[in-house]
Amino acid sequence: MSRIGKKPVEMPSGVSASTSGQTIEVKGPKGVRSFTATDDVDLVIEDNAIRINPRGLSKRARQQWGMTRTQVANLVAGVTEGFKKELEITGVGYRAQVQGKTLKLSLGYSHDVEFEIPEGIEIKCEKPTEIAITGIDQQRVGQVAAEIRDWRRPEPFKGKGVRYKGEYIFRKEGKKK
């Protein structure tokens, strides 16, 4: 039995869910999200919780059971609290600022990098060296953070670049004479 799959997903107050076939739609204070499950699981809404049940004992049904429960839990978490990723910029002259729907990054290139902020994602720069990315879709928040980080990954010698907050960068010793 799946330890994750057998737990019901509790819906806090202000959150409602509806199913249509294998698609579940969750509405909350931050927005609406939906997920389509495979035919290997059943989605049941009872009391104030969503329960996921496998449709058999096949290996695929058991795999989809826990994964579907986690996806539904992420829908509920997204429409209530939302998801957040924080990035830190390290380096002399490296900075970021939001101008309208564009994130402007100075990362040591001959030009500034202009990153268009996608729909449904909110980016804030409290300090010029800190970027906060928020949204209701965990996958999109993580993808946007990864795309921003890819413009200048942290390097191991001086540690310059864009890193996740709290990320450890293994430092190397430079050349010796």
Domain spans, the chain: 9-80, 83-164
Per the listing, tokens 């990723």 go with 85
Q: Provide the percentage of residues in the chain whose pLDDT is more than 70.
A: 99
**pLDDT tens digits for range 96-111:** 999 999 999 999 899 9
Q: What is the pLDDT of residue 174?
A: 86
CATH 3.40.630.150 fits domain 83-164 = no
Which pTM was predicted?
0.86
> Are domains 9-80 and 83-164 of this chain identical in fold?
yes
**In this predicted structure, what is the pLDDT of residue 175?**
87
From the options 3.40.50.12280, 2.40.50.140, 3.90.930.12, 1.10.760.10, give the CATH code of 9-80.
3.90.930.12
Average pLDDT over residues 113-122: 93
The chain-wide mean pLDDT, for the chain, equals 91
Q: What is residue 2's predicted lDDT score, i.e. its pLDDT? A: 74
Provide, rounded to the nearest whole percent, the portion of the chain with pLDDT above 90: 65
Tens digit of pLDDT for each residue in 39-77? 899 998 988 899 999 988 889 988 899 899 999 999 999
The pLDDT, as a whole number, for residue 1 is 67
* Cα→Cα distances 129→27, 115, 150, Å: 35, 16, 16
End-to-end CA gap in the chain: 61
